[in-house]
Amino acid sequence: MVRPERYVPYATLPSVSSPRLTETSYIVLGMLDLAEPASPYDLKQFAQLSTNYFWSVPHTQLYTECARLADEGLLDGSQEQGGRRRRTYSLTASGREALDRWRETPSAALYELRDIGTLKLFFGGDPALIAAEQLAAHEQRLKVYEEMRAAIPGAPRGQLLALDCGIGHEREFIRFWSGLLAEG
């Protein structure tokens, strides 16, 4: 039995997606806007180097979402005639319009924190033990982000801003976990 005095409930956040498009839909549309035509495998590779750092999507969803968006008329699909017969996708005019509308619609949705260290703290894990591992992991991730930032100074502004946001988050995580570790 949950005792209300033992937890803080979270508010229900408003949905950021339309009835037929999800965040995964917009990831597919956005990646194709940057790198079309592409196969779901290409999108998986692209996601591993970019969006998975802040919004991960199981690679199997990329395959099913491409097919679904093509059925909705938001993507054009074509299949290779020879070889592996890969299916590649490109945005349709409707897909581009949907992406543009989404990009231009303000969102009040908050950051969704899914962090194993925070989860363990919530359920009573040893803060010092958790902090040591988390600190090392966040220091490593910060190093990766800073190296990425240095390597792509001419990238589109939105991509640089997303990377700067990640750098800021990692610095804050490092501050938090360092403080817990110092408490002992």
Q: Which of 42, 76, 104 is the last residue of a domain?
A: 104
The domain in which residue 92 lies consists of 23-104
Asked whether residue 134 falls in the same domain as residue 172, the answer is yes
Domain count within the chain: 2
Q: 1 in a domain, yes or no?
A: no
Asked whether residue 121 falls in the same domain as residue 79, the answer is no
Asked whether residue 87 falls in the same domain as residue 28, the answer is yes
The answer to whether 110 touches 13, Cβ cutoff 8 Å, is yes
pLDDT category, 20, cuts 50, 70, 90? confident
Task: Compute CA distances 16 → 25, 44, 62, 112, 175, whole Å.
Answer: 12, 23, 19, 12, 30
| pLDDT tens figures, 21-31 | 999 999 999 99
Cα gap 36→66, rounded to integer Å: 12
Asked whether residue 92 falls in the same domain as residue 29, the answer is yes
DSSP for 43-59?
HHHHHHHTGGGTS---H
pTM for the whole thing? 0.71
The answer to whether 145 touches 184, Cβ cutoff 8 Å, is no
Q: Which of 79, 104, 129 is the last residue of a domain?
A: 104
**Across the chain, which distance is largest between two alpha carbons, in Å?**
64
Asked whether residue 66 falls in the same domain as residue 121, the answer is no
Asked whether residue 48 falls in the same domain as residue 98, the answer is yes
State residue 14's pLDDT score. 45
Instruction: Quote the tokens at residue 27.
Output: 């990831």
Cα gap 161→12, rounded to integer Å: 27
Amino acid, res. 6:
R
Q: How many CA atoms lie within 13 A of 111 on its CB side?
A: 8
Q: 41 in a domain, yes or no?
A: yes
| pLDDT tens figures, 31-90 | 999 998 999 999 999 999 888 888 888 889 999 999 999 999 999 998 888 777 889 999
Question: Is pLDDT above 50 for 15?
Answer: no
Question: Is pLDDT above 60 for 7?
Answer: no
Number of H helices, E strands in the chain: 7, 2
The answer to whether 79 touches 37, Cβ cutoff 8 Å, is no
Give the H or E element holding residue 181. Answer: helix 157-183
State residue 1's pLDDT score. 47
Mean local confidence (pLDDT), 3-29: 62
State residue 106's pLDDT score. 86
Asked whether residue 95 falls in the same domain as residue 160, the answer is no
Q: 2 in a domain, yes or no?
A: no
| pLDDT tens figures, 98-144 | 999 999 998 887 777 788 899 899 899 999 999 999 999 999 999 99
Asked whether residue 81 falls in the same domain as residue 123, the answer is no
Mean local confidence (pLDDT), 132-158: 93
Q: Which of 84, 104, 124 is the last residue of a domain?
A: 104
State residue 4's pLDDT score. 45
The pairing of beta strand 75-79 with beta strand 87-91 = antiparallel
C-alpha closest to that of 134 among 142, 124, 144: 142
What CATH number is given to the structural domain containing 42? 1.10.10.10
Q: How far is CA 140 from the centre of its chain?
A: 18
Asked whether residue 99 falls in the same domain as residue 170, the answer is no
State residue 17's pLDDT score. 43
